[in-house]
């Protein structure tokens, strides 16, 4: 190896010492004038601290944050509700019945005039509701013979209610 001046330096930016103690020295920000070689070497050193630092633990059950929970006891639900009221992401496959109900709720909101943006007239809302009813009709045709009895009931009931509300709203001068 030559003894010429190196174009980069390697700095240990880990938060913990090899013994596991927190380092006392504060981390200094990277200068904008650093060469790309120095920036990449410090980034590599910074990435190494992720592997060596102890994982943070969840205060409720002492397992690492982000790790999968222990298996649920028998008889309990396999999904975890999130604070927003829905199921946690990745909790299971999407339910077709819930999808139909969400489309029906959107059409109902358009037909009732609730939650519409300012400047939206009744004709636009009625056209949007008709579009969602058409989507439900298309889904009915495309999923024929593959729906459960419960999904059939949900779909038939939604289409009936939305069609009746659409006719009532259009007769009342909604368009």
pTM of the model: 0.48
Q: How far apart are the first and last CA of the chain?
A: 83
Cα(81)–Cα(16) distance, rounded to whole angstroms?
A: 36
Query: pLDDT > 70: what percent of the chain?
Result: 58
Q: Does residue 57 have a pLDDT over 60?
A: no
More confident residue, 50 or 33: 33
Residues pairing with 64 in the sheet? 57
Render pLDDT for 77-97 as a digit per residue (tens, 0 to 9). Answer: 444 444 455 555 556 788 999
Q: Does residue 31 have a pLDDT over 70?
A: no
Grade residue 163 by pLDDT with cuts at 50, 70 and 90: very high
Mean per-residue pLDDT, 20-29 = 68
Look over the chain and give the mean of its residue pLDDT values, rounded to a whole number. Answer: 73
């Amino acid at each position: 190896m030559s003894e010429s001046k190196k174009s980069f330096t390697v700095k240990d930016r880990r938060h913990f010492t090899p013994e596991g103690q927190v380092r006392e020295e504060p981390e200094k920000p990277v200068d904008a004038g650093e060469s790309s070689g120095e920036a990449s070497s410090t980034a590599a050193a910074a990435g190494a601290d992720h592997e060596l630092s102890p994982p943070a633990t969840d205060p409720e059950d002492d397992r690492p944050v982000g790790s999968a929970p222990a298996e649920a006891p028998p008889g309990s639900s396999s999904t975890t509700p999130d604070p927003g009221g829905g199921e946690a992401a990745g909790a299971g496959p999407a339910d077709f019945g819930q999808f139909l109900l969400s489309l029906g709720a959107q059409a109902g909101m358009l037909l009732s005039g609730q939650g519409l943006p300012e400047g939206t007239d009744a004709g636009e809302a009625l056209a949007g509701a008709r579009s969602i009813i058409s989507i439900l009709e298309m889904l009915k045709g495309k999923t024929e013979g593959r729906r459960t009895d419960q999904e059939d009931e949900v779909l038939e009931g939604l289409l009936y209610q939305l069609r009746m509300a659409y006719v009532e709203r259009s007769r009342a001068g909604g368009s």
